[in-house]
A and B are shown apart, each in its own frame.
Chain A
Amino acid sequence: MNADRARTSQMITLEMDGLQALLDALAKRGYRVVGPKLRDQAIVYDDIASVRDLPAGWTDEQEGGRYRVTRRSDDALFGYAVGPHSWKRFLYPPIQQLWRARHKGSAVSVTPEPMPSERFAFFGVRACELHAIEIQDRVFMNGEMADPHYKARRANAFIVAVNCGTAGGTCFCVSMNTGPGVKQGFDIALTELVEGGAHRFVVEAGSDKGREVLAALPQRAAKPEETKAADAVVAKTASSMGRTMKADDVREVLMRNLDNPRWDDVAERCMTCGNCTMVCPTCFCMTVEDASDLEGLETSRSRRWDSCFTMDHSYVHGGSVRASSKARYRQWLTHKLATWVDQFGTSGCVGCGRCITWCPVGIDITEEVSAIRNSESR
């Protein structure tokens, strides 16, 4: 109860002008501010300068293999779930130059690509996405070998999180214990309140950096009924999840079912297009590509996102280890939900539902897991 009161006392309320002031403050501090924007009939993450760039009054309808933006009955700025983009495209860009080598006569000099100096402010990061970032932190920074490019971008990033006011049709963060309310890993967190013509944001700081930014904004202390309303927003979203997945023992269930006939069944539907891995906010596989100019004076290497659904992914001389689509789907699912736990001490799934929505044939990770689970009780 005391903790609640302490929290309430630190909550502030911003009006629309306050939110704009927040964007301005971030830009002024040299951040490249990236947030949700309506583009190509989807809500994507892109550069934003003004609250007017945000998809006010838009929401999304999501189902297996289906995504549509539609109008809301109000002007909410964050009244939708997550779209095809995730923040991984900024922290871990789809293509990254690694080094260049100059060849002069027989001399070769290899120059590493300079570390990124760009400082991102992510505006509108959802709870599941905070967890996804935390998971990629473990992948790229907590092992023996850190990825210096990721590390540099991550260290400079400023995160403005937002509590979800709307659950998407394919969301299941409640099952994965990753949302819909944000708990940690942000500099500033917002909860949007749209009711009776009033449009306010209940805001809290999650770091000193966040407190410092907030201090200069036009604001007032949040009223108790506002923090209560903010909590109610999260509670309502939590109770309207589009999907569920029993996740506590999923690792064991999958690992003892590597021969389950369900893999053949899903392989019949899976086109091995790799969409799920591209939209997944935690998938981290990459490959490298070497290039050479025509004269051979400069060669270079870049890395690019890769997918375990390609034949090349497991290619050793003579062929692919995972030649069948069954084996490739199984690799993705068992890695995401089972072996990931062994490797990184956490599931690789945050329940964002992107892989379900963006699968061209609507393969549903929650449905596949429950089919395998249910086959055991038959």
Chain B
Amino acid sequence: MALVAEKGAAVPAHDPMLPRVARVRKRQRDLADVWTLNLEMEDGEPLKFAPGQFNMLTVFGVGEIPISISGDPAQDGGGLVHTIRDVGTVSGALARLGPGSAVGVRGPFGTSWPVEEAKGNDVVILAGGLGLAPLRPMIYSVLANRKHYGKVALLYGARGPGEILFRAELEQWRRRLDIELQVTVDHAETDWYGSVGVVTTLIPRATFDPQNTVAVVCGPEIMMRFGAAALRKAGVGDQSMYLSMERSMKCAVGLCGHCQLGSAFVCRDGPVFRNDQLGSLMTVKEL
């Protein structure tokens, strides 16, 4: 299988398993179990990245996990902004790190969102849950170069009103006239005035020309599968749809074998895949 998703910046040519030391500059609580950490390299070197790429973050003595970059690529510290859900030993330890704490950083790794390919097209950004975080650098990038894109729709689905990520920022984007923002939740009580329904229901409500649209999708795998199906139904081709996959990763450089998905190493050939390259990989059980 040829995998041709856009290649991001490469890591320095030293030992790919060796982390560099960074410090927590700022820690902000986004949701009950979600935190955003802004890091700073000890050597002061900024980390250049392309939207969609990820870093491997180490809590010394605890372990290392892949975390996508959620910062602004146009800003110096953007490559060291990470939004983390406290779900395991390492992510929990990361989420608890206070300002000044040391973090090991390797990266950035992997393929990126089609920021360039999407130029001249309408852009549909379909995000679910925490999937908004890896898409945020793409949103920043599109908004910063707004005139290069056609219509832009950001369609976001969350579990409930209390689990909407980056709420303040969403409010800012909602006020812009050059982006169509729609938010829906799966579950709500009647005091929620916003939309209720799965994120796919937003697709027919959005305005875009399916023939000239690039869609980027990020969220839980099952949400991406149904999101891709709904986009296809709306007339968007698989070759114009990009999804970001998640698998177990230990090395991030295609050597440890953990992240295999069919022929692909998700760390190296992904995480961003064009949907026609994924083919049936998402529908074969336990692949």
- Min CB distance, B111 to chain A, in Å? 12
Distance of B29 from chain A, by nearest CB (Å): 19
4 nearest CB pairs, A to B: A292-B61, A285-B257, A327-B286, A342-B263
* Given A147-B255, A285-B256, A290-B60, 20 more pairs with CB closer than 8 A: A98-B18, A103-B60, A110-B18, A112-B15, A143-B268, A145-B16, A145-B268, A258-B284, A286-B257, A287-B256, A292-B60, A312-B248, A314-B258, A317-B87, A318-B87, A327-B287, A339-B262, A342-B1, A343-B263, A343-B265
Q: Closest Cβ of chain B: how far from A55's Cβ, in Å?
A: 33
CB A293 to nearest CB in B, in angstroms, measures 9
Which residues on the A side are within 8 Å of B10 (C-beta)? 144
Q: Which residues of A contact B61 (CB under 8 A)?
A: 290-292, 296, 299
Would you give the shortest CB distance from A347 to chain B, in whole angstroms? 13
B21 at the interface (CB under 8 A from A): yes
A99 CB contacts on chain B under 8 angstroms: 17-19
- Residue numbers in B under 8 Å from A30 (CB-CB): none
Which residues of A are found within 8 Å of B21, using beta-carbon distances? Answer: 108-110
Q: Hey, which chain B residues are within 8 Å of A85, CB to CB?
A: none
Which residues of B228-287 have CB atoms within 8 Å of chain A's CB atoms? 246-248, 250-251, 253-258, 260, 262-263, 265, 268, 284-287
Closest residue on chain B to residue A300 by CB atoms: B61
Contact of B60 among A98, A299, A316, A343 (CB under 8 A): A299
CB of B88 within 8 Å of the partner chain:
yes
A303-337 interface bits toward B, Cβ cutoff 8 Å, 1 = contact, 0 = none: 10010100011111110011110110011000100
- Distance in angstroms between the alpha carbons of A324 and B286 in the assembled complex: 8
Bound-complex Cα distance A292 to B63 (A): 10
Flag whether A101 is at the interface (Cβ < 8 A). Answer: yes
A291: chain B residues at CB < 8 Å are 61
Chain B contacts for A324, CB-based, 8 A: 286
How many contacting A-B pairs (Cβ < 8 A)?
125
Asked if A284 is an interface residue, CB under 8 A from chain B, the answer is: yes
B15 cross-chain contacts in A, Cβ below 8 A: 98, 112, 148
Chain A interface helix/strand/loop/mixed: mixed
> Secondary structure of the B side of the interface?
loop
Residues of B within 8 A of A110 (CB): 18-21, 104
| B258 and A145 contact, CB distance less than 8 A | no
Task: Report how far A204 CA is from B21 CA in the complex, Å.
Answer: 51
One of A258, A316, A330 near B248 (C-beta < 8 A): A316
Task: Establish whether residues A331 and B260, one from each chain, have CB atoms under 8 Å apart when the complex forms.
Answer: yes
Task: Flag whether B91 is at the interface (Cβ < 8 A).
Answer: yes
Q: How many angstroms from the CA of A330 to the CA of B100 in the assembled complex?
A: 46
- The reply to whether B251 and A286 form a contact with Cβ atoms under 8 Å apart is yes
Chain B residues near A339: list those with CB within 8 A.
260, 262-263
Docked-complex contact B19 and A144, CB < 8 angstroms = no
Within the complex, which residue of B257, B284, B287 is in contact with A306, where a contact is CB–CB below 8 Å?
A: B257
Q: Please tell me the number of chain A residues within 8 Å of chain B, measured between CB atoms.
A: 51
Which residue from chain B places its CB closest to the CB of A255 in the assembled complex? B262
Bound CA span A355–B198, Å? 47
State whether the Cβ of B64 lies closer than 8 Å to any Cβ in chain A. yes
Of A108, A144, A290, A306, which is within 8 A of B254 by CB?
A144
Contact between chains at B250 and A286 (CB < 8 Å)? yes
| Cβ of A373 under 8 Å from chain B | no
With beta carbons under 8 angstroms apart, the residue of B17, B19, B257 that contacts A284 is: B257
Task: Say if the beta carbon of A301 comes within 8 Å of chain B.
Answer: yes
Verify B247–A321 contact, CB threshold 8 A. yes
A56 at the interface (CB under 8 A from B): no
Task: Determine if B102 is an interface residue (Cβ-Cβ < 8 Å).
Answer: yes
Q: Given A110-B19, A139-B255, A285-B256, are A290 and B64 neighbors across the interface (CB < 8 Å)?
A: yes
B62 interfacial contact with A, CB 8 Å: yes
A377 within 8 A of B: no
Which residues of B are interface residues toward A (Cβ below 8 A)?
1, 10, 15-21, 58, 60-64, 85, 87-88, 91, 100, 102, 104, 246-248, 250-251, 253-258, 260, 262-263, 265, 268, 284-287
Find the A residue at minimum CB distance from B21: A108
Q: Say whether A317 contacts B88, CB under 8 Å.
A: yes
Contact indicator A287/B64 (Cβ below 8 Å): no
Are the C-beta atoms of B247 and A316 separated by less than 8 Å? yes
Cross-chain contact A145 with B254 (CB below 8 angstroms):
yes
> Are A143 and B254 interface neighbours, CB within 8 A?
yes
Which of A103, A139, A147, A308 neighbours the largest number of chain B CB atoms within 10 Å of its CB? A147
Q: Which residues of B contact A303 (CB under 8 A)?
A: 17, 250, 256
The answer on a CB contact under 8 Å between A144 and B60 is no
A290–B62 CB distance below 8 A: yes
Given known A288-B64, A296-B61, contact A327–B87 (CB-CB < 8 A): no
Residues on B with beta carbons closer than 8 Å to the beta carbon of A292: 60-62
Closest chain A CB from B52 CB (angstroms): 18
| Closest Cβ neighbor of A150 among chain B residues | B255
Can you list 18 A-B contacts (CB < 8 A)?
A: A99-B19, A109-B21, A143-B253, A145-B16, A145-B254, A147-B255, A286-B250, A286-B257, A288-B256, A290-B58, A290-B62, A296-B61, A308-B257, A314-B247, A316-B248, A321-B248, A331-B260, A342-B263
Pair B286/A323 contact, Cβ less than 8 Å? yes
A285 to B260, CA, bound (A): 11
- For residue A313, give the distance in angstroms from its CB to the closest CB of chain B: 6
Q: How far is the CB of A216 from chain B (nearest CB, A)?
A: 38
**Given that A110-B104, A292-B61, A343-B265 are known contacts, is A284 also in contact with B248, CB under 8 Å in the complex?**
no
Q: How far is the CA of A299 from the CA of B17 in the complex (A)?
A: 15
A285 to B1, alpha carbons, bound, how many Å? 21
Complex contact A313–B60 (CB within 8 A): no
Q: Are B255 and A284 in contact (CB under 8 A)?
A: yes
Known pairs A145-B255, A321-B286, A327-B285; A106 contacts B260 (CB<8 A)? no
Q: Which residues of chain A from 190 to 229 have a CB within 8 Å of any chain B CB? A: none
In the bound assembly, the distance between CA atoms of A182 and B97 in angstroms comes to 56
Residues of A within 8 A of B100 (CB): 106
Residue A90 interfacial (CB < 8 Å): no
Contact B284 A288, beta carbon cutoff 8 Å? no
The CA-CA distance from A110 to B102 in the complex, in Å, is 11
Q: Please give, as numbers and ranges, the residues of chain A lying within 8 Å of B58 by CB-CB distance.
A: 290, 301
**A140 contacts the other chain (Cβ, under 8 Å)?**
yes
